[in-house]
Amino acid sequence: MADQDLVEDGPAARRRARGGADRTGAARMRATPDDSPSSSVGAEPKREGDRPHGSPASGPLSRRRLLGTAGATGLALGAAGGAAGYAAGSASSTSAEKVTPLSSLGAGEVRFHVKHQPGITTPLQARGHLVAFDLAAGAGRKEAAALLRRWSDTARRLMAGEPAAQDDTAIALDAGPSSLTVTFGFGHSFFARTGLEKQRPESLDPLPDFSSDQLDRSRSDGDLWVQIGADDALVAFHALRAIQKDAGGAARVRWQMNGFNRSPGATAHPMTARNLMGQVDGTRNPKPTESDFDERIFVPGSASPSTSGDPAWMANGSYAVIRRIRMLLDDWEQLSLKEQEDVIGRRKSDGAPLSGGSKATETTAMDLEKTDAEGSLLVPINAHARISRPDQNGGAAMLRRPFSFHDGIDAKGVPDAGLLFVCWQADPLRGFVTVQRKLDRGDALSRFIRHESSGLFAVPGGAAEGEYVGQGLLEG
């Protein structure tokens, strides 16, 4: 786990009511072309085929009445307010009354047709599903193209808060889009299965072995990969079921992993996420505002083997590394607070570097040479935050966008919990591999984590209007 992560502080959202009746009865947020929460600057025009949304003038009580209008921090109603709203609604549920427009988490919408696929720079979502598929026996390029066409249409519909085109399950019938994103990628084995070996990027060569690996191959790799994220668990599950059903006879699930993050609005102000070890995790994540962000995270828009080393179909795409990292929480929690902080190199309370002093904050620059009165380094030589820094790895950087997971208690009676590590970079050899090799040689955190599954996927750029994800590969 590198000392990088995504801060949940996307651009300020705007809300726009659109005419017409909708199953959500909601005023909906739009999103900017970079798939972040919506802003009035640079908003894309309405897509052809978008279903209008609005608030009917009257009708039965909507459960969305229970949600108050979120303020700038995204805070929801307190417990007392929520209880009062429910009691009042229950007393008059048989009478027709005006439905309050959706104005909280459910209103968030992310665009599907964007330059880079959604779910990469989108702020952290509360719920996530990672799922890999293998093409069925006999399925090839034609079947894969039809599958990606179905998947893309379903993703577009669900991200807009619409039902799936075929046999919608109605799981998310009462909800808004809830910032749903669906992201698609191709694994190394996909290209041989479809006769497209010449189009396989060199960057998709298998990852090397690492000393911390204890990989379950049945839960690693795959022909196709789908990442689903949303701020509502039912919305995320609805998308998962739709994607699985769309696979039909063309592909079967190889593995699936489910994760979560803190819900937006659960803190008094946006802040860097915490992991299951209780640590602020991801202070030095690259920011889209940095001048070299696109260069480090995305394949150039004019990609070609002769320039970037990537095939043209990967233009504006990125490479995702997925690792299921088990945290040995029972061992970790036996450490004292100081021992935990020395392992990471940052204070547990606020993420400030150990070299910064009492007035330091999370963003205070880390002084790697500063020592205490006895001459010992304040940030230990094997501290995770020191070893994973880009300036300690030749500038190597990756955009980390993980989910935590907890899959119960294992046969030994310890938590099966940890991090579904997802990182994005233009070149995995210069990004993830460089940093992980350094961590492999002496990271203090390695005693308390175990890498149990792994995958590397080529994620093409976003689909243009009227196209599907991967069309440049499958029809080029």
Q: Is 338 exposed, middle or buried (0-12, 13-18, 19+ CB in 10 A)?
A: exposed
The upper half-sphere exposure of residue 191, i.e. CA atoms within 13 Å in the direction of its Cβ, equals 17
Q: Which residue has the tokens 């593995």?
A: 255
Q: Greatest CA separation found in the chain?
A: 75
Distance CA 194, CA 187 (A): 12
Nearest to 51 by CA among 158, 150, 152: 158
For residue 82, give the 3-state DSSP assignment.
Answer: helix
Identify the three-state secondary structure at position 132.
strand
Quick check: 175 and 237 in contact, CB under 8 A? Answer: no
- Rounded distance between C-alpha atoms, residue 476 and residue 471, angstroms: 7
On whether the CB atoms of residues 362 and 283 are closer than 8 A, the answer is: yes
> Residue 165 corresponds to which tokens in the numbers above?
């085109």
Residue 70: closest CA among 105, 100, 40, 37: 105
Q: Which residues are catalytic?
A: 281
* Tokens standing for residue 459: 């994620």
117: Cβ–Cβ under 8 A, 6 or more apart, which residues?
35, 183, 184, 317, 459, 460, 461, 462, 463, 469
- Between CA 309 and CA 413 the distance in angstroms is 48
Question: Taking Cα atoms as reference points, which of 386, 390, 393, 397 lies closest to residue 353?
Answer: 386
CB-based contact 276:404 (threshold 8 Å): yes
Tokens coding 128:
């996530």
* Structural contact between residues 302 and 404, judged by C-beta atoms closer than 8 angstroms: no
What DSSP assignment string belongs to 309-345?
SS-GGGTT-EEEEEEEEEE-HHHHTTS-HHHHHHHHT
Long-range contacts of 159-167 (CB under 8 A, 24+ apart): 159/109, 159/110, 159/111, 159/112, 159/118, 160/47, 160/50, 160/51, 160/109, 160/112, 161/22, 161/23, 161/24, 161/26, 161/28, 161/51, 161/53, 161/109, 162/51, 163/23, 164/242, 164/245, 164/246, 167/245
